[in-house]
Amino acid sequence: MSRESATRIALIYPELLGTYGDGGNAIVLAQRLRWRGLRAEIVEVPAGEVVPADCDIYLLGGGEDEPQILAADGMRRNRSLSRAVSGGAAVLAVCAGYQVIGASFPAGNGRVHEGVHLVDMETRRSFDPPDVPPPPRAVGDIVVEPDQRLGLPTLYGYENHGGRTRPLPGSRGIPLGTVRLGVGDGTPARTDGIVDGKVIGTYLHGPVLAQNPALADLLLTWVHGRLAPLDAPVEADTLRRARARALAGG
């Protein structure tokens, strides 16, 4: 991509997948590009419209059950997101969005709904036998130590979900990281999320990129290659230090 062309950041179905403020991730990405003298354009894709296949980064956020079904149906019908990923685009999918980009997810009344199949993950209310009560909803702070191959510092966020997510047999990708505090995927492996190529799924709200600017820059390097160093705003550093102290009990 040339420096003259704007990086197009698609915010997919914000009316359906915008319950927890995850649209802020688009603002963070755009601003970190502009601080580097690079152009950025946020493209909001309303529910019912075809997802454009020519954006550089696609963002999906959290949502309720019925909106989640509508979002999955819309993306499966036009397959633009799948084509964009095949063409090299990056994706960050959070919570309901994380579930949607997998193979399947629960959608009320015990039904299982088909996902978009971007990553080899499946979500259920529980993976225990039917006679075992389902686990409680995961609500609260979450701290994740990223996989060392990603070169990221500790990730902080907030989770609010009832699903449990696991890789399918023979799945590709690696976990985003190991859960130090919280539930994350809710499996015995104690992991959160998936990184498969340029696709990231996670249960971290926050918005996650506001609290973790290094993760934002990882996404941007997938589009631009090596980027000029950029110090995090003082406020972001202060927030991370405060969260670390609070969660450590100090």
Residues noted as catalytic:
95, 205
Report long-range pairs for 105-108 (Cβ below 8 Å, ≥24 apart): 105/68, 105/72, 105/163, 106/162, 106/163, 107/65, 107/66, 107/68, 107/69, 108/65, 108/66
Residues 6+ apart with CB under 8 A from 152: 146, 177, 212, 214, 215, 218
DSSP string, 156-210: EEEEEE--EEEEPTT--SB-SEEEEES-TT-STT-EE-EEETTEEEE--BS-HHH
Q: Which residue has the tokens 């941007």?
A: 220
What is the crossing angle of helices 24-34 and 213-224, to 10°?
A: 60
Pairing state between β 121-124 and 112-114: unpaired
Q: Supply angle C-alpha 204, 207, 211, rounded to 5.
A: 85
